[in-house]
Amino acid sequence: MKIEILDSTLRDGAQGLGISYTVKDKLQIVKILDDYGVDFIEAGNPSSTFKDTDFFKQAVKLQLKNSKIVSFGPTRRKDTAVENDVNIKALLETDTEYITVFGKCSLLHTEKILKTSKVENLKMISDSLEFLTKNGKKVFFDAEHFFDGFKLNPEYALECIKTAENAGAYRIILCDTNGGTFSEDIAKIIQSVKSEIKIPLGIHCHNDIDFATANTVTAVNNGVTHIQGTFIGIGERCGNANLSAVIPNLQLKSDYHCVEHIEDTTFAAKQIAEISNIKLPEYMPYVGTNAFSHKAGMHVDGVLKATESFEHISPEVIGNQRNIVLSEVAGSSLIKEKLKKISPDIMDDTVIVNQLVDVIKKQEFKGFTYEVAEASFELIVLKYLGRLKNFFDVEYYNVTATKEILSESLNVAAVKINVKGRTEMAAAEGKGPVNAIDKALRLALSFFYPHLVTMSLTDYKVRIIDSVSATAALTRVLIESSDGLRSWNTVGVSQDIIEASVQALTDSLLYYLTHKND
């Protein structure tokens, strides 16, 4: 059975705290969603900003394969003729076949927020939909606050959506706008609506009690055929139904069809997170880096013998990958699994494998951890095997901090490196000591490896390992780096936070240079 997907990342998602899309960002996300295969892309209110107006002018020119662009706006204002309403006119003038119109379906909102009568609110709904449909538009009616409105006054909530149906709505979308409804209530209310409404129903859930994904699936299982959400769950307050989980849940776990390219789910999630300038949560179901990660112990032993023992699906189905995590309880079987990617020729050499286990355990006793810093682990293996190319040595570094009057603190770093007997010195200013030493290292190395400009530090974490030592505590630094195509993590440990940072930075640079031509 086909389920229609409307992605609202560009509209509802853009309302999330810290999210701000340029027109170029929006067009990039449209391309990603179209390639993935969603049916509709709700892109914003054409009358809200000049940026949205510009977007719609460009978006309608796109040659999309799977998706239809949808504009969004409210019903006409109270006591205003529909043909004179600014928002309605903007929707009509936007060259989109499909439009989402939202209207109040709660007596509370009608009387206290709109400050109008029940009758006028119903006329606002009917006037708006009749006017747009008569002018050739297909209208999704977002029944705003429907579930809360139904609990308060079911007769009026139903009257609102019946009015929309009679006025020509293409779909009726039931909205849990406050995101506070339990799944059993979603099911009961939808069953009540189905006996009253004949056109297809949709669902739009917010995530304020962490039920948006479950409520969306519940709605589909109760007869809803159109779902709305944002691709990685972003949105106002606690966000919206997360389509990167909803779609696999429906398509892989049930007999529903949502998109053509389910295998691109993880790729699409990562791309949209990158454009949104947010870090994709590691624990996000299906698409997070930890979604198929297994730590040493019973889980690792099980998944190495039979993947289905601790994985609900194969990660490759949605474009993710399995990750066997190194830890202080790592054994030879785990090291062997890791060596498949690094040096498969020594997997069966018991002596070398056991020696590597000892090396890792000694490092972890010093405070190192390789659970996520797999790039540093790979460098240890290559160095132990004598296969790590010596791209450079850091002979000297120094970092100083100064404070200028009426200005920010300024850090200056100087480094001296040696590359195959040739030395180079460089200095750089930075916003903090790590930024300064990072810039200085790159500057010095750029004389030998100019392509380093393509990689950058994307995350930096510090953890105090033995807090009882106060300011002399052992410090662990984890660094995430990226070249735009892939990401990797490295680790450094020292009582000196600068030294720990330099360890992690040099590992990151070495890893990049080692894999530059892969």
- pLDDT tens track for 367-421: 887 767 889 988 988 898 888 899 999 999 998 877 665 566 678 999 999 999 9
Residues 265, 409: one domain?
no
Residues 96, 240: one domain?
yes
Residues 432, 311: one domain?
no
Confidence of residue 4 (pLDDT cuts 50, 70, 90): very high
447 Cβ contact partners less than 8 Å away, ≥ 6 residues apart? 424
CATH of the domain at 84: 3.20.20.70
Confidence of residue 333 (pLDDT cuts 50, 70, 90): low
Looking at residue 460, what is its pLDDT? 86
Residues 166, 298: one domain?
no
Residue 20 near residue 28 (C-beta atoms within 8 A): no
Which residue type, as a one-letter code, is found at position 99? Answer: I
The answer to the question of residue 235 being in a domain is yes
pLDDT tens string 417-450: 999 999 999 999 888 888 899 999 999 999 999 9
pLDDT tens string 124-158: 999 999 999 999 999 999 999 999 999 999 999 99
Looking at residue 43, what is its pLDDT? 93
pLDDT tens string 477-490: 999 998 877 889 99
Looking at residue 467, what is its pLDDT? 56
User: Please, what's the b/e burial string for 446-474 (b: 16 or more CB within 10 A of its CB; e: otherwise)?
Assistant: eeebeebeebebeebeeeeeeeeeeeeeb
Residues 252, 127: one domain?
yes
Residues 259, 317: one domain?
no
The answer to the question of residue 307 being in a domain is yes
The answer to the question of residue 508 being in a domain is no
The answer to the question of residue 473 being in a domain is no
CA separation for the pair 278, 36 (Å, rounded)? 20
Structure tokens, 141: 């009616």
Pick the range with the lowest mean pLDDT from 141-150, 333-342, 360-369, 459-468: 333-342
Residues 357, 419: one domain?
no
pLDDT tens string 33-54: 999 999 999 998 887 777 888 8
- Say whether pLDDT at 471 is over 60: no
Q: Where are the alpha helices (DSSP H) in 343-455?
A: 350-365, 374-384, 433-445
Dihedral class, residue 21 (left if φ above 0, else alpha if ψ from -120 to 50, else beta): beta
Looking at residue 321, what is its pLDDT? 83
Residues 374, 424: one domain?
no
The answer to the question of residue 105 being in a domain is yes
Residue 213 near residue 242 (C-beta atoms within 8 A): yes
Q: Residue 41: name the closest of 231, 191, 184 by CA.
A: 231
Residues 195, 297: one domain?
no
- Say whether pLDDT at 327 is over 60: no
Residues 348, 435: one domain?
no
CATH of the domain at 398: 3.30.160
- Is 372 or 266 the better-scoring residue by pLDDT? 266
The answer to the question of residue 480 being in a domain is no
197 Cβ contact partners less than 8 Å away, ≥ 6 residues apart? 161, 162, 165, 172
Residues 193, 134: one domain?
yes
Looking at residue 49, what is its pLDDT? 72
The answer to the question of residue 467 being in a domain is no
Number of domains in the chain: 3
Looking at residue 384, what is its pLDDT? 86
- Residue 353 lies in domain: 293-382
Residues 174, 65: one domain?
yes
The answer to the question of residue 372 being in a domain is yes
Percentage, residues of the chain above pLDDT 70? 92
Confidence of residue 358 (pLDDT cuts 50, 70, 90): confident
Residue 462 near residue 477 (C-beta atoms within 8 A): yes
